[in-house]
Chain A
Amino acid sequence: TQLLEQSPQFLSIQEGENLTVYCNSSSVFSSLQWYRQEPGEGPVLLVTVVTGGEVKKLKRLTFQFGDARKDSSLHITAAQTGDTGLYLCAGAKEYGNKLVFGAGTILRVKS
C-alpha cells in the first residue's frame, strides 16, 4: 500500500496544454518535496513546501501544499516537450530521517 498516492499514473498531452498532478495521503507530513526524473538519471529536486496552504511557483510550474498538509498538487501551464519526465512527490514526517515517495506520474508532452 502506497502511503502517498499520485494521480494520474500516466499523462500524455500536446505542447501548450495545461495539466495538474496530484499527490494525496491520509497522513500528515511536515514537508513535501517534488522531484523530476529523466530516463537514465536520478531524481532532481524541484521544490519543497513546508506550510499548509503554501503555494510556490517555479516559472510555469505551480506547487501547492494542502491546508491540512496531507496532499499536494503540481500544475504546469503551457507544457513544453522539455517537461517530459517522471514526477515524484515525497513526504517527510516531523523530525523524520527519511522520505516516503509516491509511485510517480509519467508525463509525456508531444510536439
Chain B
Amino acid sequence: NAGVTQTPKFRVLKTGQSMTLLCAQDMNHEYMYWYRQDPGMGLRLIHYSVGEGTTAKGEVPDGYNVSRLKKQNFLLGLESAAPSQTSVYFCASSQDRAVQPQHFGDGTRLSIL
C-alpha cells in the first residue's frame, strides 16, 4: 500500500536547468496538490488539480508548470531553475474537496546552485 510516491527524493540542479518531479498515488483520489516547504513558512501551495486533465494555480505558481494527464499522476516542472526554488517539495492527494484529509508523499529535496 504505497499511498503517495514522489520521485526523485533528492536532486541538485544548476541554475537554468530544467527538471520534472513526479508524483504518483494509488488511492484513486481526484484531487492532487504540489506544495513547497521552506523554513518558517509552512507549506505553500504551488499548483493543484481537481481531476484528470485539469490544473489550477495556487499561492506561488510562478516558475512552475504542472500536468495531470492520468488520474494517478501529477507532474511538477521547473523550466529554468533558479536558486529561489531551492526547497522541499511535497505532493499530496485527497478524495475530493479540501475538507477531506490530504495524504502526503515524503518529499523531494531540491537544491539549485
Is chain A's binding surface mostly helix, strand, loop or mixed?
A: loop
B99 touches A98 (CB 8 A): no
B98 touches A96 (CB 8 A): yes
Minimal beta-carbon separation of A70 from chain B (angstroms)? 17
**Nearest 7 pairs of A and B residues by beta carbon:** A42-B104, A92-B98, A103-B42, A101-B43, A101-B42, A45-B101, A31-B99
Query: What residues of chain A lie closer than 8 Å to B48, measured between beta carbons?
Result: 97-98
B4 touches A42 (CB 8 A): yes
Minimal beta-carbon separation of B33 from chain A (angstroms)? 7
B106 at interface by CB-CB < 8 Å: yes
CA distance A74 to B91 in the complex (A): 25
CA distance A104 to B90 in the complex (A): 15
Residues from 33 to 61 in B contacting A, C-beta threshold 8 Å: 33, 35, 40-45, 48, 50, 56, 58
